[in-house]
Amino acid sequence: MSKVIEVKNLVKDYENFRALKGISFEVEEGEIFGLIGPNAAGKTTTLRIIATLIQPTNGEVEVFNYNVVKDPEKVREKISYLPEEAGAYKNLSGKEYLDFIARFYAKDKNEIKEILTRGLELAKLGEKITNKVSTYSKGMTRRLLIARALMAKPKLAILDEPTSGLDVIISREIREIIKNFAQQGTTVLLSSHNMLEVEFLCDRIALIDKGEIKEIGTPEKLKEEYDAKNIEDVFIKAVK
């Protein structure tokens, strides 16, 4: 498999605080790769650098062989990024919002229709898709935003805490959507502090804590290596 993301010795400083301390990892085409760790571990900072939103202090990041600092426009053409606290335009209906976003990706009316249809199917909001976003629950809004992030079939989807704060049923639905899209060829990089959840979702994971990656591997291999029942136990042992 070819590399989609290559991170080498990535460092990010914020004034007197070093958020990332020289981390390195690779993401291969077609896999779901998870950055797993507690709050303030450096997950979101890493995703924002890869998504070209902020620049690193040191180190290199390439996405599809494009440097995120030197060729940010080329990178943005191939990715979709969903922040943890993303929102949608509250005065639009869900359908109007997806149609609005589809027009950024589409080259003609037929492609707008194709992307919008896919978005409506992903959102699974039924008749409520015509209601204003301002009336949506957090779970409904998140489903709409996941649809927005995936409906144009990006080559790389970057998802920051995609199920944060959602109930079990909606979280499971979103996990299934992500898994199905990966099976169709979209590479997924996601962050989460829910280690038990991503154990069942990710092909490989990197355990990150205080700006350092402690371990990288498949959930099964990490559990075997640390003689642990789950990834939460692996993490606790790895950071000691």
Q: Which CATH class is domain 3-78+155-238?
A: alpha beta
Q: Residue 3: is its pLDDT beyond 90?
A: yes
Considering the chain, what percentage of its residues have pLDDT values greater than 70? 100
Arithmetic mean of pLDDT, 165-180: 88
Annotated domain spans of the chain: 3-78+155-238, 88-153
Give residue 60's pLDDT band: very low, low, confident or very high (50, 70, 90).
very high
Q: How many residues does the chain have?
A: 240
Arithmetic mean of pLDDT, 98-118: 94
Give every CB contact of residue 238 below 8 A, 6+ residues apart in sequence: 207, 209, 214, 215, 226
- Predicted pLDDT of residue 1: 64
Contact status, residue 116 vs residue 102, Cβ threshold 8 Å: yes
Strands 204-209 and 156-160: unpaired
Q: Residue 239: is its pLDDT beyond 90?
A: no
Give residue 69's pLDDT band: very low, low, confident or very high (50, 70, 90).
very high
pTM, 2 dp: 0.94
On average, the pLDDT of the chain sits at 93
pLDDT higher at 9 or 165: 9
Q: What are φ and ψ of residue 212, in 5° steps?
A: -125, 140
Helices 138-150 and 94-105 meet at what angle, rounded to 10?
Answer: 20
**What residues does 213 pair with on adjacent strands?**
208
Q: Residue 83: is its pLDDT beyond 70?
A: yes
Q: Residue 214: is its pLDDT beyond 80?
A: yes
pLDDT higher at 184 or 4: 4
- Predicted pLDDT of residue 130: 97
- Predicted pLDDT of residue 240: 81
Work out the angle at residue 118's Cα, subtended by the Cα atoms of residues 53 and 130, and round it to the nearest 5 degrees.
Answer: 95
Q: Residue 109: is its pLDDT beyond 70?
A: yes
Arithmetic mean of pLDDT, 83-106: 92
| Closest C-alpha to 189, from 211, 170, 208, 212 | 208
Arithmetic mean of pLDDT, 200-217: 95
- Predicted pLDDT of residue 39: 86
Residue type, 140: M
Residue type, 118: R
- Predicted pLDDT of residue 167: 86
Give residue 193's pLDDT band: very low, low, confident or very high (50, 70, 90).
confident
Give residue 49's pLDDT band: very low, low, confident or very high (50, 70, 90).
very high
Give residue 200's pLDDT band: very low, low, confident or very high (50, 70, 90).
confident
Q: Residue 185: is its pLDDT beyond 80?
A: yes
